[in-house]
Chains A and B, each alone.
Chain A
Amino acid sequence: MLAQQADTLSEAGVWVPGRAPVLPARAGRTARDGALLDAVELGVGRRRGVPVADGIGARIVAGRALAVTGPNGAGKSTLALTLAGLLPEVSGELTASRVLADGAASSPIRWRSRELLTRIGTVFQDPEHQFLAGTVRDELAVGPRALRLGSRETADRVDELLERLRLDHLAGANPFTLSGGEKRRLSVATVLVARPSILVLDEPTFGQDARTWRELVALAAELLDDGSAVVAVTHDADFVDVLADDVLELGTARAHVAARRLSASRAARNPATRLQQTAASAVSGTAGARS
């Protein structure tokens, strides 16, 4: 019974055990050699002089996705906020490449708020922290307005994202009244609307149904194909499997990026191979439920 209906259920957004969500087919990715951000011996923390994680080495490259994993409290969110130019580094160095800086300072924390918008976009762990406007439409227009885009350009970008993230019927709603999944989609959209070169996501798939999950992954994959970089803090093994080129595990003595075996990650991005992996995980009994 479940097996018969699995496709329908999965399509509708239900997590079906043993069934990883099917991804839309994607164009093959061109590997780029554009380092955007370099972290050397980076120490991160909320307060000056008190690192929660240090000795971190990582390079954020255009067209590549970096997954940050590790136990609760390891400092993943703190690292994400530091890479995003929101918290000053506690030790070590975080340097933006000339391409990313594009005339601004080489240290992201010294960028002005508006300069940050087109360079590094951050989706917070809690979407409610980043809502500013009274309606979904206005919320999406905050970024373009700060960038002083014309009203035409703003409307185009906003409409495109509203539709893309299935928020068009909610355009007039207050962001705080949306469901958890809608809030997440909106928070992602508010960042994408400024078209940042780097997208930083903190637990983007937490609590999402299979359909939103699939959309988020597809969206991130598309950005990667377009040459943006993605940094995702996540506990979601499927998400790492499908998307990540590099994995940084915090909470180990010294955190350094381990490039995933290229063949494996490439294979994971290919929907056909992905299905084989699905079959394999069904055999090993991996549950599809996500907390």
Chain B
Amino acid sequence: MTLLVPVATTRAVGRVNPVAKLLAAVILSLSLLLSIDWVSAGVALVLEAVLLGWAGLPWRAFWRRTLPLWIAAPVSVIATSLYGQDAGAVIGRAGFITVTEGSVALAFAIGLRILAVGIPGIVLFATTDPTDLADGLGQVLRLPARFVLGGLAGIRLVGLFVDDWRQLGLARRARGVADVGGPIGALKRTAGMAFALLVLSVRRGSKLATAMEAKGFGADTPRTWARPSTFGRPEYFLVALGTAIAAVSIATAIAAGTWSFVLA
């Protein structure tokens, strides 16, 4: 669960306003979703890989956090190769499964895309402190404070869930019921703990709501922010970088003739 905790970094990326990270990631992802072809995804991925060194994320943390992508990408490559829409020359056939040049190309387009869209998102947010993000969303994007801080409080509570869950487990051992009933007993206990966690969270949530109400979140008057969130040169640079990667990958794909607009 430590995966939810932001990585502290001394790199410049750690100081960039999270709103800029969000914008860069959104621009990049949306552009890559406009077409499904392997060239644009591949080019974006290569450019991202070059920039990874500046991301401020230690390699161990990088692999741990992006692990889901490294599982999802190969799985979808294999699945699409086998079951994807067939086109072009047949490469192999077994029963009703046919692998064709078309389905393999599609498979790689999808697999690379999962990585190209996923990696920048994960990497940029790994070094983002939720509090900074909330400050940015409230001040730079001017989203309603109630919405932003409510969301932030929710993220903060996740850490408490983890502690609660551990305590619930220890308490079951202390109460003498932690090792009865074999696998079925274990399943029942997990369900019981999940329910207890739900009860605890609902209660904590309503306490939080009362506290927010008491701090005037129910009112419409403008709020002030304790930490100013600014949007300056590093921020514009990061957004420009994201846009540039998107532009280069699209241009390369069009030049290579593989670009296929999904909405066309």
Contact = CB atoms under 8 A, between A and B. Distances in A.
B167 A142 contact: no
A73 to B, nearest CB: 14
Interface residues of B, number: 20
Contact of B175 (A46, A87, A128, A132): A132
A194 interface: yes
Interface stretch (B116-124, B177-185, B224-232): B177-185
A121 B177 contact: no
A122 interface: yes
Interface stretch (A90-98, A111-119, A227-235, A276-284): A111-119
Contacts of B172: 113, 132
B167 A143 contact: no
Contacts of A130: 171, 174-175
A15 interface: no
B200 interface: yes
B240 interface: no
Given A84-B174, A112-B179, A146-B176, A124 B167 contact: yes
B176 A132 contact: no
A124 B166 CA distance: 12
A113 B176 contact: yes
B176 A124 contact: no
B196 A131 contact: yes
Contact of B177 (A46, A87, A146): A146
Interface residues of A, number: 27
A14 to B, nearest CB: 26
A35 B236 CA distance: 68
Contacts of B166: 46
Interface in B58-98: none
Nearest to A194: B176
Contacts of A190: 175
B170 interface: yes
A84 B176 CA distance: 13
A147 B176 contact: yes
B173 interface: yes
A129 B176 contact: no
A2 to B, nearest CB: 32
Contacts of A128: 196, 199-200
A126 interface: yes
Contacts of B177: 113, 132, 142, 146
Nearest to A190: B175
Interface in A182-228: 190-191, 194
A176 B202 CA distance: 12
B216 interface: no
A116 B180 contact: no
A176 B199 CA distance: 9
A81 B178 CA distance: 15
Nearest to A114: B176
Given A126-B167, A131-B196, A142 B174 contact: no
B196 A116 contact: no
A86 interface: yes
Contacts of A194: 176
9 contacts: A46-B166, A112-B179, A113-B180, A116-B173, A128-B200, A143-B175, A143-B176, A146-B177, A146-B180
* 3 closest Cβ pairs, A-B complex: A146-B176, A113-B178, A117-B176
Given A116-B173, A143-B175, A191-B174, 11 more contacts: A86-B170, A114-B180, A124-B174, A126-B167, A129-B164, A129-B167, A129-B168, A130-B175, A132-B175, A142-B175, A146-B175
Interface of A: 46, 81, 84, 86-87, 112-114, 116-117, 121-122, 124, 126, 128-132, 142-143, 146-147, 176, 190-191, 194
